[in-house]
Amino acid sequence: MSEITPRVFRPLPGVTVHAFAPEWGAVLEHSRTLLDASELARAAAYHQPLDVARFITGRAALRRLVGHALGMPPEMLQWDQGAHGKLGLHAQHAAGLEFNLSHSGNWVLVALSSLGAVGVDVERIEDHRDLSALAARVFSPREREILNARSGRQLVEFFYRTWTCKEAWIKALGAGLSYPLEQLDLHEAAQASPGTRTSVMDPEGGRSWQCWRLSLDSEHEAAVVLASSSGIAGSSSRGC
């Protein structure tokens, strides 16, 4: 059964983000055979066909990519979950590989990293939501200032660029949405061009992280965040 070829972003050597369209038909059914019982139960809990397709596509792609990296059959992999639901490899597979996945709209993203913790987020842009009210709860003062100075499409784009960077950062950290996001200022990352690396300081832990926006299409925003390591230097550079 033929697999769908993804778009691949490479922000750094050792870090890749694979972007898939949701699978359908026979391809989706083949991917379903790779999932374990708990994953199948989660897929069955979705009511909309697109939600089912995105979930199965993401979990199957994750299994294929991680299995390939570890030299294991994808259906044999076992997962663990952190306190806030972040998916990780079972201890018996531990091999210095970090990963994360996200899906929204017409995209499923899987990020792999051999350099440290990684988080990825994709969001379909919806301009009918009350974005200013949501930003009042989770944006920093500087982010709110920039948002409120904009209108129309520019306001919507800045919101989603900021939100995907924040969500990817939370997922890399392994923290839940209870984290004080208003203390995390990502306005520079949100305004950077896609593929440009921006440094981000953890306001609580003092740790440095790196953020890249990803260019998918005009209807989606996406970002990937990586924990800094000794091999990463500088506040801004091109990748992807």
Q: What is the pTM of this model?
A: 0.91
pLDDT of residue 176: 73
* pLDDT interval class at 200 (50, 70, 90): confident
CATH 3.90.470.20 segments of the chain: 7-116, 120-227
Q: Evaluate whether 169 touches 226 at the Cβ level (below 8 Å).
A: no
Q: What is the overall mean pLDDT for the chain?
A: 89
Over pLDDT 70: what percentage of the chain?
89
Listing DSSP states for 116-185 in one string gives: S-EEEEEEE--TTS-HHHHHHHHS-HHHHHHHHT--HHHHHHHHHHHHHHHHHHHHHHT--TTS-GGG--
> Higher pLDDT residue, 9 or 180?
9
pLDDT of residue 136: 93
What is the tally of helices (H) and strands (E) in the chain? 7, 10
The H or E element containing residue 202 is none
- Give CATH superfamily name and number for 7-116: 4'-phosphopantetheinyl transferase domain (3.90.470.20)
How many Å apart are CA 16 and CA 80, to the nearest integer? 22
pLDDT of residue 17: 98
> Cα-atom radius of gyration of the chain, to the nearest Å?
18
Residue 2 has pLDDT above 90, yes or no: no
Phi and psi for 27 in degrees, rounded to 5? -65, -45
Q: Which CATH architecture has domain 120-227?
A: Alpha-Beta Complex (3.90)
pLDDT of residue 202: 79
Q: Which two tokens stand for residue 125?
A: 């842009």
> Residue 123 CA to chain centroid, in angstroms?
9
Classify residue 74 by its DSSP letter. G
Burial class from Cβ neighbours inside 10 Å (0-12, 13-18, 19+) for residue 218 reads exposed
pLDDT of residue 92: 61
